[in-house]
Structure formats: C-alpha cells, structure tokens
Structure 1
Amino acid sequence: MSEQVRSSVSVNHGFLHTGDGDLNVFLQLAAAAGKDPRVVADDHLRWLRRRFLEPGGFGRARTVLESSGTVLLEGAPGTGRKAAAWMLLAELYSGAETFKEILPEEKPPYLRTGHVSEGALLLVDLSVITSEASWTEIQNELPGFRTAVREHGAHLVAVLPDTTADPLGADLRPFRVEITRPRAGPALQRYLRAGGVPAAETGPEPAGLSGFLAVNPPMRRIAYFAELVIEARASARPEDDFAAWCAAALAVLDNKQSVRVTEKLAVLVQGPQRALLLATAMLHGAPAEVVRRGAAQMLQVVEHPQDTLPLLEHEDITVRLKAIDAAADSSGRVRFTSFGYDAAVRAHFWAHWPELRQPIERWMTDTVGLPGMEDSDRETLVKRFADLCLHDRYRDLLLDFVRQCAQDNRNGDRMSAAVQALRRGLEHEAHGRFFRRRIYDWSKDTAISKGLSQVLVVACWKVIAVHHPDQAMVRLHHLARRERGTTHARDALDRIVAADDQLRVWMLKRLADRLESADETWKRFDAGMFLEFVGTVPLTAPGPLTRPPLSDPAVRERLISGWHAVLRLHPYETWRRQAERWIRAALEDERNREHLLDVLVGGGGQRTDLLAPLYIVTRDLALPTSETRERHARLVGLVRQKIDAALGLQMA
C-alpha cells in the first residue's frame, strides 16, 4: 500500500517505527501509563468490589435492572449512588461486554442513542444536571434512549440529579429506585480490611472516630478517612495504636495542621528555609539529595539572591531539615515528623501565596527531571501538584505544565510526568470532562508539539478509553490525521477498535460520515483508514440479540458511503485485497451474502469504472482446492446481476 493509505501495522504486530528516533521513548511512555483499557476497567471493578458495601435499596435495584434492562438510582449526595451503579453493572459483566460511562451533552439532545452499542453496560451520570429545564428535556429523551438500549441488548443504570423539583414522569417511575447510604461503621471497616488493616488492630472504637461516624459523613469522606488511617498506620511509631492512627487522620481531615504551618512560617523568615519547607512538602518521602536539589531549584525559580557565605560555613542538610521539623529516615528519605504536615504546607503556600503558583509550575517542570529521582517519587510529586491545580481557577496551570513537559519528546521523565498529570485530571470526577474537552481541542490543533501529540495519544489510549472509548477514538482519529513521521495515534486507534467489534463498527460509521462531508482535506486519509478497519468479521458476527451489524440498513448505508470513497479515491491495487476478503466472505457466508455484495456493489454507485474492477476481483478470486467451481460461478453471476441492476441494464 502507499504510505498515504497505510503507514501503520496490524494491531497484532505492535507499533511500527516510521519516525525519527522517538519510538523507544513513546513505548516506555505507553508502558509506564499502565495496562490496556479493558484490563484497567476489570482492575477498577475488582478494587471497588473489595470495598463496596451494599446500600439500602440495592437488592431492589438489581431486580429492576435484570427485569427491565434499566434502573434509575435516586438518593441524597454521599450515599454511594455511583459506586452502586458500577456494581450493578459489574454483576452483569461476563468479560465480553463494553463498559461505557456517558455524561449528558452540554446542549440538546443530551442523550445520544449513537452511544449505545450491542450488549453495552451503560452508566449515565445525570447527577451533574443542575438546571430544571435541562432535566425536563432529559426526561423527554429518556424513553427513546431506553428503546435504543433495549434494541441493542444493552443495560442502563442512570444516576438521577441530586435535587429536582420536577418529579419523574409516569413512564419512568417504574424504573426508579431510592438508594440509602450503608452504615458508616461497617463501611469504614470494609475499606480498612481492603487496605490491609486486620480487624484485630481496629478496636475498640475511639471517641474521636465515634464522633466522626455519628454525623453520617458522605461515603467519599469515609473512603478518604480510611486512606488517611492506612497512611497513618504505615508511618506510625511501634507503640501507636488504632486510636492514635485515627487521631492523626482526623487532624488532617479537620485541617488542624494548618495552624502549625502558620506558626512555623512566622519563625522561618529566610527564603532558603521557606524554599526547603515547600520543597520538602512537595517531595515528601524522596531521598534527601533530591529534596536538597529541589530546594535549590526553588530558590532559582523565584530568583532569590544567592547565599554569599563560604561553602564550609553553610549548615548541613540535617540541621536545615530539623529547623523545619523534618528528618531523613534510616533509608535516607525525608519526612516531616508530624503526619499530614506535608499536605498542610502545600495547601498553605498554594492558598496564601498566589504569586507563587506559576513559579511552582515552572519549578515542577524542572524538578520532575532531577537526577536521582525514582519513578515512584516523580509520580507522587506530579499527583500532589495536580491535586493543587484541580480547581476551576487553576486547571490551566496543570495544562501548561503538561505542555511544557512535552516540549522535548526525547526526555522520557518529563513526558511521563505530562501523562501522569493528564491522568490525574482526566480521572477526577468533577474535572474530567474539562480535560477531555481540552484534549479534544489539542487533538485538532496542527501546531502542537510532537511530544504533546504523543502524550495525548497515550492519555487517550490508556486513560480516556477506560470509560469513554468513543471519545478516545474521536481524539485519536484527529491526532492520527495530523501526525507526521510516526503512526502512534493510528496504531493506538487500531488497538482500541481491535478490542471491541462494536467500537470498530462505530468508527466505520464515523469515517463514512466524514467521507460524505464537504471538507476535502482529510478524505484520502479517512478512506484509507476506512479500508483498514472494514473487515467482515465484526460486521457479520451476531451480537447479544443474534443480529449482526450488517443486518442494520443504517449501517449498510454508511458502509456503502465508505466503500464508494475508497473506490473513488484509491487505486485498484490499494483496495483489491480487502475487496477479495469481502467476496470470499460472501462466498462462504450464505446468511450475510446478499448484504455483503449489496454494500460492495453499492459502493461502486452507478460508475462503470468503479464497478468493473469489482467484477474482476470476483471473477479472479483464488479458490482453495475444496471449493466447487459451481458455487463460485453462481457468485460471479450474482455479482454481475447486481452490477447490471446498479447500472440500470436489467432488474436484479
């Protein structure tokens, strides 16, 4: 095939290096980003199952979902509705279905039936809806969306808005189930067991914990508290017990450490001391040498005057750390002496020194590449910075950090940090949509750097595709159109669609739609991609309702459009082998024969110059010795009839 049509390799053969030396960095980047999306989804469900405690109403929700294919979960915020939704779908998962989380669109139609694929397990999160007008419109759309779910053999769990003055209509009320929060104490204990804390170490219940649980905290806060207890246990003294761990966790939860930070900063008035304090908070748990270099780098970024004292008169790092209530442990890693103090320091500087936010971002770009920093320390550092930025006002700082780290695509450490920062934003429940939108904008921008393009490819493939595979495909499609010298985006797209036949069909329909548009810029590229993806097996294989996609007239219409573009835009030798596969499939598959041939011949339109080569492919088809000439002859005659009918020469 020509380079213009096909510059990547089959998904079964991995990534083809057609670039200028950056393949190893990209492959390391992809490997560091984690497992493939389907495996990540499985891991997430296992993680959730170990921590999940059935809320009130869960059994009824299960019954409604199993009997109708739809359940609408209602409940107060903090009751664990979304976790319940995932677990309801997980109980239906056999290993073959596609999980898909759908957020309502920003304007009508809010629910697109095109998101529904055969046998999909769908979670629609409507809790983000705050407008009564939008909720009213969504209620009008839900019956049609449910119809699409039923017709595709899919299952739908929707989380209803938190508060609505407009009640559910009569046609939707049978699917409504109220979820009530599980008991706080058992829920906390389940989280602790899953985190490796044995029951023998978690009793009796201290007074502070009793007070925390008595106010019925939201499930998310209980989960966070459990994480803090587990961390406090890991860093505790041998004589500390469950009560001490809980007290330390509650001090962080109640932000009591912030008072200590204010008091300490009143004493630490010198720039080098404050630089060390902030660097230690950001690099908490890293080797002492990394912390020392990080503090020096902080002074450079803020353009602090250099110390004029002779080198031998400087205080050593141990003395300097003691002044900020920190020390290096037996392994040489630096930590504050008080649990949770590092988070309080980070929050204090971020909140009370707004003029430091951009310098901290620049410091981050330099620091993630410091020599001696281990991958785990770098990942933790990026996570801490991202968490500071995950606010409506600061998200652009995180995006700028990603952009700066990706400037040099040969620097694997910074490239990896860029992916990790995007992952943190994408996986955040409140901000994920914002980051997906910005990645979409970037994916259509031809001016982005080569490194940023590679970072976006990995983010789409390894992060977005876990719960939003259709959005990952759209973004990878835009990136594949624009990449030069490499085929990373195209190969990642190959891998996503190869993992799910329904995603492949969805991508074929998208390509066909784009090939019918007036924009000529990408038509040849899209036609080549259509040709690559248009294998017959995903189109003829029956879905959960034993209905292959090819039996759908709308799908056949899109395929005809795509084949017409291929035949029109590419030479015979480019598309001949794929056409041969279709002809051979029609020869062997009697059930789908007519549809296969109708699509191919339909792709030729009424043009003799396009139809004649299809006839030649059919006539010259190489047959295995077991094939009978009679069956092939009948197929050739059938194709001839369909071509004649297309040209208006006779009735088929």
Structure 2
Amino acid sequence: MNDSPPLGGNGPAAQVHTGHGTQNNYTFFSNGDADPRRLADSSQGKAPRAVAEDELKWLRHRFIHPVGYTTAYDVLEERHTVLVDGSPGSGRRATARVLLCSLPRKEGRFLELLPYREAEEEWLDPQQVGEADQLLLDLSGRDEQDWPHVEARLSGFRKVVRDRRAHLAVVLPHRVGRLLSPEYGALRVEISRPPRHRLEHDLIKRRLRLAGLDATVADPLPARLRQHLDQRPPLREVADLAHLLCEAGRSAGPGESFLHWCEAAIAAVTDCGPDVVDLLKRLRRAPHRALLLSAAMLHGARADTVHLAATRLLADVSHPENTTSLLERQGLGGRLERIRAGQGPDRLVRFDKLRFDEAVRDHFWDNHPDLHGPLRDWVGSALWLPGLTDADAERLVIRFAEQCCRTRRPEDLFHLVERWASRTDRGAAVRAAAHLLKYGVHDHRIGRDCRNRIYKWATDRNISKGLRRVLISVCFAVLPVRHPYAAMVRLHHLATHEGPGTEAREALVELALGDHRLHRWMLGRLARPGTQRNRGTDLALFLPLTDPARLLAVGGRAVPLVAEAEVVRSLVDGWRGVLRDVAWEAWRRPVYAWLGACVSAETRYAHLLLDVLVEACQESSEAQVRLYATARSWATGCSPGDASRGAVAEVVMQKISESQRSNRAAGNEEAPAP
C-alpha cells in the first residue's frame, strides 16, 4: 500500500492503522499558464516540509498503539535509534513514523531515507542528517541477506545521528532478528497486535468518531465482524474495512443497523473477483463489456459521459459498433442494470455493491494483458470527454495510476505522462501528467522506478517543454515531501539543461533557501568537484544562495550557516569561481549585499562574510583588486555623514593586505597592493 494520506478515489487505505483520509482535490481545467512549481501542488501552496508535517499529524491522529510501542519509544528516546520488528501486516512502518513524530522537539524535521543508493546520492549520507532530525529508514523491502551490509553501513551513520541529537527509526526486514549482533539486538523491539481484537475494535471506533458517526454502535463487535477479524488480516486491511464501515454508515437507509454496515463493508473487502467472472460470463458481447469497464473507470460520472466513453473504448479496441438500429437497442438504464449498475436522480452511475468498480478494474488489468496498451491510450484521450467534471478527471487519473502501481507497470504510467505533457496546447493535460507522476512517486511499489525515470528525464536536454514543467512541479512540490535531496539532484540537472528559461533555477533556489539543511547541502554540491554539469549554470545558482540574511540567520541553531566550517569552505570555493569567471555586473549586487550586512546585521558573525570574500580571492591579485574596488564603489555611494560603509571598505583592505603578507611569508610571489 502507498504509505501516505490517500490521493483520492476508491482504492484501499494508504496509511497503516488509518483507512481513508482527507481527499486532495485537483483542479485540472483551470490556470493553463500556472507556475510550473504549482502544477502538482494540491496543498494550498504549502511548502513540502509543511505537507510532510501534515501527513504525520494525519497519521498520528488515527494511530492505535500496538503491543511494544511504549518500549520502542523508550529505546528511541534514550538510544537515539530503534529497530522496529514484527510480522508483515503488524503496522511496523506506521509505528516507526508515529514514534518519530511523537518525540518532543523544537527543531529538526522528518526525513525518509532511501533504503538503497539512487542516482548520484550516497546511501545513508551523513550530510543529510540535521540537528534534531527525525529519520526513517524502511528496510522492510530488503532481503535478510542484505542485513550484514546494512549493519556495517549503519554503525557510522548512527554516530552522526547521536552527535547531532537526531533520532533514527529503522523498519527491519522480516526474519532478520536472528542475524542481529548484540549491539543491534539491544535496539530491536518487536511490535504485535493485542489479542481478542482490542486494537482492531479501537481502530474501528476511532474511525467512526472521526467520520462523525456514533462509535457506540460498535459495542460490542457483531459476531460477523469478529469472524472476519479472526482471520487476522493485515492492519492496513482492517483500516480499509473501517473506512468502508464509515462509508456504509453515511449512505445507510432508515432502519439499517450496524450489522448491515458490517455486511456491506465485509462484502466489499472480500474478493469480488468471482462475482465479476460470473457477470462476464453473461456479458459476452463487446458493447456490454465496454460499458462495464467504462462504468468502472468513471464510477460516479454522469450516465451519458459513461456511455460516450464506452463508445470510444469500442472504437479504440477496433471493434465494430452494433449494427442494430438505434431504435431497436436497449435503453441505457437497462444496459446499466445488466452490468449491475444504475443511476440515481443525479444521473450518476454507481454499481450496486461497494468496491465492485475496483474489482472490475482489477479483473481487466489482471486477465487481459493485451488490453493494457489500448486502455492506456483510451485513458489518455478520455480526459476531454464532454460532460467530464474535474472530479471525474481526478478519479480517472488516480484509477489508472492505481492499476499501473498494483500491476507494477510503471512504463504505462511514464508513457501517458510523456503523452499528456507534450500537449502544451491543453493546460489540463500537463497538470494531469503532473498528478499522475505524483501518484507514482508516492507509491512504494513503483516509487523507485519513478524517481529513476525522473532522473533520466532530468538529465536529458531534449525533453519537451511540457515534460520539463511537469518535472519541475513534481521535484519542487512532491518529491521533497519525503526525499528532498533526490529532488535537489534532479532540479539541479533540469536547471543545467534549462536553456534560456529560469523556472528550474528558481524552483531549486526557493527549495534550498526554504530549509537550512538543503541550503547547506546545495552549497556543498555546487562546490564539490566532479558534480558540476555546467560551471556557468552552477555559478548562476550559487549567487542567489549567498543571501546574507539566510546565511546569518540562527533560527534556533547554535550558530548560523556562515559560522560552520563546511559551509565556509563551500562559500569560499563558490566565490572564487564567481570572482574569476563571472562578469562584474552579475556579482556586484551580491557583494554589495554582503558588505551591507556587515553594517546592518545585529550579529557577531557578520565579519565572517568579509573573511570568506577575502579568502576567495587570496590566490588572485586581480580578484583582490576587483573586490577592493567594488567595496570602495559601494562605500562612496552612501549618504553624506554615513561613515560605516567607509569603515567596512577599510576592513576589506586590511584583510586583503593581511592575506598578501601571509602569502609572502609562505614564500608566494608578492602581489601588488590594491
């Protein structure tokens, strides 16, 4: 299951212990010239970090503590690392996330570490650990044979975690407990579900309360529901069942008891595949099957829209239309009844059983692989069906994405992303492509494939303009929610190949300046040899990252960025390249800003800005002359009577002179005074 608040649609619950959450509603058919950074942003303009915080709050509010939770919390708080173990379906990942977000904190942020190396990122990179961060490493998808390698890498990483007052929760691969060394065995905590359905009962009642329904109707649990829970389904399925109970309760007619809700919900989570097979045995003709699949993909849309979609589907699979006279054909209502669907007074099509539409979709994708291509192409053109609303389009995109993820066919998703993104004449298509890719990025089954494909696209300078806008959007608003460093790498490549535009650069700079950890990391990436794809682009990116207000801001930390040795090295290397290779007109104002900060900043660290500039030009007498001339130009532009600027310029000259004396003392060739 995808481990985030669900994106909408009728699919199963996304969070373990939770069930369905609030819907993220997308608006496909407006703002055709929208900022590309916002194409995939359905969070009312919130920063990725705020979205991540909202996800954690959403989960914590719905979470029920398993057996072992308190012990795991104590180990995490005291040892800064906990290894969460348990059988599949016990809620290990959700437990690890809630453990981290339950820690008392005034700073730090939640970060999900990749369980393997990707693209240019080092696996378990210590540079990604910030002060008081909460780090999740989900290894549940790794094999137990991988553990010795993981354990060796994890040891040094844990030291950095402790030194920086951070906390790390690791979800162990199943059955790896016997391979743990004594050191790691002491950090392992196994979680489990309590007996007699106590956890499941609490989960169901909480979901009923959150849905605004009377939770006491579940006291006690009916025998039919207890029998279902006796099978010990995974907690994600219990959460899904709880959501369906709420759905059945909201749509219940007068006099329907909680037992009726249970029957409907259990029927929905029980495999409906045989029912679909039985129905298809009676629906031999292609028009009926086309109507069935169209109703499943557009469940909740208007009847005439579903009918038109079915007609187009027949054409797309090269099946001739029914030659019977229009006057002789059965009415739409009768044909819908034949496929176990109907339409209410609102003319919206719905099946007569909860989740039957999902079972129909699953059946066609599982049993008709030759239809994958035609169905993909049909979805690609169905966004513009007459009468299709924004909500219908949203659900269609999500239902197609669900099938790509469930059947692990990311190439179908990528094909449609490229197709829609190329339609720059239709803003709705580009936005739909962004949301389709957003769904894939967040899915644990194909998320890695999506990140790798985004990297491949980002490094290709020949991608379409629309696809570039989609990638900027996903890398700015979606990927950073869980994988901010992966987003920065890909935005960096997009910026390198941007040509005359500035959208990727602006997105990268905004993302970096929004978090001091990303700011630090990006400065280091621009300074490290071997990572630059285009030196001119890197220097153009470097200058806006030198905002003195951001570098001098403490923000609850012990010292500002400019006082960190690692950042100073990056700044010196960056300024050295700027002063050597960039025209004076481009770096004059940034230098003015640094000099001005030395006058106005109420901090004892402002003088470090001058140290960086002087050290950056230490190896070039020409650069020293240019820096001092710029300082004098800035000082002479002050208002009469303002001596502070002149004093700063004199300090610059003194520091340059000291640098020259130091060079001479070291045996370097004498450089002329500025």
| Shared fold per TM-score greater than 0.5 | yes
1:24 matched to 2:34:
yes
Q: Compute the displacement of 1:207 (Å).
A: 2.0
CA offset at residue 651 of structure 1? Answer: 10
> Does residue 1:227 correspond to 2:237, yes or no?
no
> Is structure 2 residue 504 aligned with structure 1 residue 489?
yes
CA deviation after TM superposition for structure 1 residue 626, in Å: 6.1
Shift of 1:176: 3.2
Structure 1 residue ranges without an equivalent (≥5): 1-20
Q: Tell whether the 8 Å contact from 2:86 to 2:192 is kept in structure 1 after alignment.
A: yes
Alignment of 1:128 with 2:141, yes or no, is yes
1:112 and 1:389 map into 2 onto residues whose CA distance is 31
Q: Secondary structure at the match of 1:24?
A: coil
For the Cα contact (< 8 Å) 2:105–2:132, is it kept in 1?
no
What is the aligned partner in structure 2 of residue 550 from structure 1? 562
Structure 1 residues 258 and 180, CA gap change in structure 2 (3 angstroms): closer
- Identify which of 589, 608, 616 aligns with 2:621: 608
- Counterpart pick for 2:584 among 555, 567, 572: 572
Q: Find 2:427's aligned residue among 406, 409, 412.
A: 412
* 1:112 partnered with 2:134: no
Answer yes or no: is the 8 Å Cα contact 1:369–1:413 preserved in 2. no
Specify the alignment match of 1:144 in structure 2: 156
Higher deviation after alignment, 109-118 or 535-544: 535-544
Q: Give 1:142 deviation, angstroms.
A: 2.1
Structure-1 separation of matches of 2:241 and 2:282: 31
Q: Distance in 1 between matches of 2:132 and 2:338?
A: 61
CA distance in 2, matches of 1:274, 1:453: 38
Change (3 A) 1:79 1:415: same
Q: How does 1:74-473 map to 2 (within 5 A)?
A: 74-92=85-103, 96-106=107-117, 110-132=123-145, 134-164=146-176, 167-181=179-193, 183-255=199-271, 257-391=272-406, 393-473=408-488
C-alpha distance in 1 between matches for 2:658 and 2:185: 51
For residues 183 and 552 of structure 2, the distance between their equivalents in structure 1, rounded to whole angstroms, comes to 35
Q: Within 2, Cα distance between the matches of 1:629 and 1:595?
A: 16
233-242 or 495-504, which deviates more: 233-242
AA in 2 matched with 1:253: V
Distance in 1 of aligned mates of 2:35 and 2:392: 20
Indicate conservation of the 8 Å contact 1:136/1:166, yes or no. Answer: no
Structure 1 stretch displaced more, 168-177 or 136-145: 168-177
Provide, for residues 196-222 of structure 1, a one-character-per-residue CA deviation record: whole Å limited to 9, x for no partner: 332134344222210122233322121
CA distance in 1, matches of 2:645, 2:510: 38
- The runs of 5 or more residues in structure 2 that have no matched partner are 1-30, 669-674
Structure 2 vs 1, CA of residues 167 and 547 (structure 1 numbering), >3 Å: closer, same or farther? Answer: farther
Aligned to 1:560: 572
Give the Å deviation of 1:96: 4.9
Give SS of 2:135's match.
Answer: strand
CA gap of 1:586–1:178, structure 2 versus 1, over 3 A, is farther
For this pair of structures, how many residues does the alignment match? 627
Q: Offset of 1:628 from its aligned partner?
A: 4.2
What's the counterpart of residue 551 of structure 2?
539
- For 1:124, give the aligned amino acid: L
8 Å CA contact 1:51–1:191 kept in 2: the answer is yes
Contact 1:188 1:226 in 2 (8 A): yes
Q: 1:236 to 1:420 in 2, by over 3 A?
A: farther
Alpha carbons 1:118, 1:544 under 8 Å: kept: no
Q: Which moved further from structure 2: 219-228 or 642-651?
A: 642-651
SS in structure 1 opposite 2:478?
Answer: helix
Aligned to 1:11: none
In structure 1, C-alpha distance between the alignment counterparts of 2:632 and 2:513, rounded to whole Å: 31
2:598 maps to 1:583: no
2:562 and 2:187 map into 1 onto residues whose CA distance is: 32
Q: Deviations over 1:518-554 (max 9, x none)?
A: 86x5110111101111223333334655133333333
Q: Distance in 1 between matches of 2:136 and 2:230?
A: 31
Pick which of 287-296 and 197-206 moved more.
197-206
1:648 match: secondary structure? helix
Q: Kindly tell me: are residues 203 and 174 of structure 1, through their superposed partners in 2, closer, same or farther at Cα, counting changes over 3 Å?
A: closer
TM-score by length of 2: 0.86
Change beyond 3 A, Cα 1:633–1:315: closer
User: 1:273 touches 1:320 (CA, 8 Å); kept in 2?
Assistant: yes
Question: Residues 160 and 338 (structure 1 numbering): CA distance in 2 closer, same or farther, change over 3 Å?
Answer: closer
Deviation at 1:611, TM superposition (A): 1.8
Structure 1 equivalent of residue 28 of structure 2: none
1:118–1:152 Cα contact (<8 Å) kept: yes
* Alpha carbons of structure 1 residues 176 and 424: separation in structure 2 relative to 1, 3 Å: same
Residue type at the aligned position of 2:321? Q
Aligned-partner SS, 2:143 = coil
Q: Secondary structure at the match of 1:453?
A: helix
Answer with 289-298 or 152-161: which moved more.
152-161
**What CA distance in whole angstroms lies between the structure 2 residues aligned with 1:28 and 1:462?**
7
Task: Quickly say closer, same or farther: Cα 1:551–1:262, change in 2 above 3 A.
Answer: same
Q: CA deviation at 1:315?
A: 3.1
Distance (Å, rounded) in 2 between the aligned partners of 1:93 and 1:472:
28
